[in-house]
Amino acid sequence: MNNKVVVLDHPLLVHKLGYLRDKETGSGEFRELTKEISRILAFEVMRDWTDMKTVDIETPITKTQVKRIHNTPVVVSIMRAGNGMLDAVLSMIPFASAGFIGIYRDRFVNNTVEYYFKMPQDIKGKLAILCDPLVATADTMIAAIERLKSYEVDKIRILSILISEVAIQRIHSLHPDVEIMTLNIEKEVNEHGYLVPGLGDAGDRLFQTK
């Protein structure tokens, strides 16, 4: 696709994604698989981190110096479904702060509607890791990106399990600097806005709602 999109093609992730797609997979197992995948995505999103500081410590044996992550990122959940990824990502990056964006696409006004926005005070100049398991049309994702940029974050990286080709094109037509990490790029979005073959509504499957 381009160098701003990373598709993680790993046998373990392919195996787990297959169970997420399966309609017979129950909510509890769906949540656990989402968490397992999110931890791996979190590991990969921090792979090229370079902002480190040197700290003096003592091991049980001697004094030494170690490196620790500096200018820690903020992990942002696009609610509801992003909440299914958030705890797992934070378990891998426990020093990160967290933010929440509630946005939905209103078909009656033909626009996105923001109903909740809560961020840490110090997000200016930080990496924002934006979590949403499924990105289909990208309407809410683009709105979230624009809100974060208004707070002058340094970079934005999207963590998704599945994203459509059209979503990538729309995001990068407006925000070519945004990086995307995903398990698979879906070719289709149906008339109801669902990814095909996809895995249904991630929020409903995570939380047993309709």
pLDDT at 115 over 90: no
Residue 57 inside a domain? The answer is no
Residue 167 inside a domain? The answer is yes
Tokens for 120, please give them. 């840490």
Predicted model pTM: 0.91
pLDDT at 108 over 90: no
pLDDT at 110 over 70: no
What is the residue range of 33's domain?
5-48+74-207
- Predicted local confidence at residue 109, as pLDDT: 58
- Predicted local confidence at residue 45, as pLDDT: 95
Residue 60 inside a domain? The answer is no
Q: What are phi and psi of 84, to 5 degrees?
A: -70, -20
Q: How do residues 15-27 score in pLDDT, each as one tens digit? A: 999 999 999 999 9
- How many domains does the structure of the chain reveal? 1
Confidence of residue 107 (pLDDT cuts 50, 70, 90): low
CATH number at residue 85: 3.40.50.2020
Task: Annotate 167-201 with DSSP letters as a single string.
Answer: HHHHHHHH-TT-EEEESEEESEE-TTS-EES--S-
Residue 118 inside a domain? The answer is yes
Residue 63 inside a domain? The answer is no
